[in-house]
Amino acid sequence: MRSKMGSFLPAVILGVFVCGCSGVKGNIGQMPVFAIPVIEAKWIREGEPLQFEDERWYPQDAVDVLLDSEVYLLGEYRGVQFFIQKADVRPFHTLYTKFGPNKFRMFKLEEQHDQDRKSQ
């Protein structure tokens, strides 16, 4: 009886260790996770600008696919967080608001917005 128990116990310990480690997904670190709105703010859907540093940034139809870890939170405007890409430097060319999982709506400066509208 003792020999069966002696070989059974190490097998159980090994099994618990293997099963316990199988759920580990790797070290994801302290990645930020920004809230996803249930519905995009009405002012964005109506094309109203975001005010940042005395400039108007207009929402675009374009949406960039980015990870939360690829953006930097700049602030909040009218209850909506806005971001830049971490790799972006001043002068910023694009601001973003979170639109869905890994989807960020692009905002362009008023001058860029006007040029795009004239070229259409």
Query: In three state form, how does the secondary structure of 59-102 look?
Result: EEEEEEECCHHHEEEEEEECCEEEEEECCCCCCCCCEEEEEECC
- Average predicted confidence (pLDDT) for the chain: 82
82 near 75, Cβ under 8 Å? yes
Is 61 inside a domain boundary?
yes
User: Which single residue is written with the structure tokens 């995009």?
Assistant: 40
Looking at the 3D structure of the chain, how many domains does it have?
Answer: 1
- Nearest 5 degrees, angle CA 104-CA 55-CA 38? 30
> With a threshold of 0.85, does the pTM exceed it?
no
Is 87 inside a domain boundary?
yes
Domain that holds residue 48: 42-119
Is 59 inside a domain boundary?
yes
Is 68 inside a domain boundary?
yes
Is 106 inside a domain boundary?
yes
Is 79 inside a domain boundary?
yes
pLDDT for residue 33: 87
Q: pLDDT digits over 60-104, tens only?
A: 999 999 999 999 999 999 999 999 999 999 999 999 999 999 999
* pLDDT (average), residues 1-21: 56
Answer yes or no: is pLDDT of 24 > 50: no
Of the given ranges (27-36, 47-56, 70-79), which has the lowest mean pLDDT?
Answer: 27-36
Task: Report which of 113, 100, 93, 24 is spatially closest to residue 67, judged by C-alpha positions.
Answer: 100
Is 31 inside a domain boundary?
no
For residue 87, which amino acid is it?
A
pLDDT band at 111 (very low <50, low <70, confident <90, very high): confident
Give the helix/strand (H/E) hosting 52: strand 50-52
Is 13 inside a domain boundary?
no
